[in-house]
Amino acid sequence: MTENKVSRQGKLMCQAIAALTKENLIGQKFKNGEIRKKIVEPASHWRCPECFTNTVIELAHCQAELLEFEQPNHEKVILQLHGGGYIGGMRHAYRSFAGLYNEVGKRCSVLSVDYRIAPEHVFPAALIDALDGYEWLLQNGYTEDQIIVAGDSAGGGLALALCLALKENGRKLPCGIIAMSPWTDMTASGPSYKENFDKDPLFGGTDDSMINNREYAGEEDLTNPLLSPLFGDYEGFPPLLIQVGSYEMLLSDSVLLAQKAKEAGVKVRLSIYEGMFHVFQMAPLALPECKRAWVEIGHFIEEISGGRAEYGQTEEDGTDDRGETADADE
């Protein structure tokens, strides 16, 4: 396997994040989610790109947004579930994510669910809203074979929980899952919670961080697979792409998930990006690792759409379904 190196830009960005979140008043508020909770983004700070429409959809308990190109590709559709530790709502960053999914997915439409969040709405509110988003797609012309569920952080865990809930109820599953730095284990039982405690620039160095926030769980058992998907049964699941940074405290959430899913016969690609932080895909595309991750997502969408070699085969980017580290050294 190719020796993997973090890019110079990646090192600088990781250092910058660590400096921003170091132990001071503002830094701690970044880590524990206080700033994430209170972010107010004026609508004027994001504009729908030309040749696109962004339509607000009213679901039963929340809103969703449908981003569509003027001549959309209906072969696939993305159901996006945002991150934020179940305590932070929709942000402009996820509208930008929708645009990137559209681009790498060759003009596929993206439905982003602004699900209810804690502490006002505890488990299973977010899961119910994700299910409503899935149902909306089915009621509006899409089939399960066209839906790819995608999410980052808590949204990655929610994407997996959604599919576990569908399976539990005997429903047909979507055709693929994309999970960026998924939060899959609220019990924090994996080794990386300790091993990366001093490495993780976003959540490390303190026990008062978003990944230790259990407001959404309420009184529910943290081993419930619909809260902690790591403990779920993955037999019969669709192809799964997992991306994670090697410095993350949540690294083992991805590694153990990939191992469990593969043992259940799922086609899994686990890509560990050396020296990367939580949801590094949100960084500017000038960051080589970020660009490579989005290219990989595009390959995944194309593969499960039948446009490339069978999913799970080794690709030129150095990732494969054996959980080997992604080569992100450009």
Catalytic residue set: 153, 248, 278
Contact 324, 243 (CB under 8 A): no
Strand pairing of 268-273 and 63-69? Answer: unpaired
C-alpha 73/C-alpha 108 separation (Å) is 5
Listed residue (259, 267, 264) closest to 304, CA to CA: 267
Measured N-to-C along each axis, helices 125-139 and 154-168 cross at an angle, to the nearest 10 degrees, of: 70
Distance CA 310, CA 25 (A): 50
Reference 15, options 234, 141, 257, 201; nearest CA is: 201
Give how far Cα 131 sits from Cα of 79, 119, 127, Å: 10, 20, 6
Residue 36 token pair: 């994430």
Distance CA 330, CA 291 (A): 10
For residue 104 the two structure tokens come to 């790498």
- Return the SS3 of 262: helix
* 316-287-53 Cα angle (round to 5): 95
**Of 1, 18, 8, 24, nearest to 277 (Cα)?**
18
Distances (CA, A) of 267 to 141, 153, 155, 259, 297: 27, 21, 21, 11, 15
CA–CA gap between residue 65 and residue 71 (Å, rounded): 17
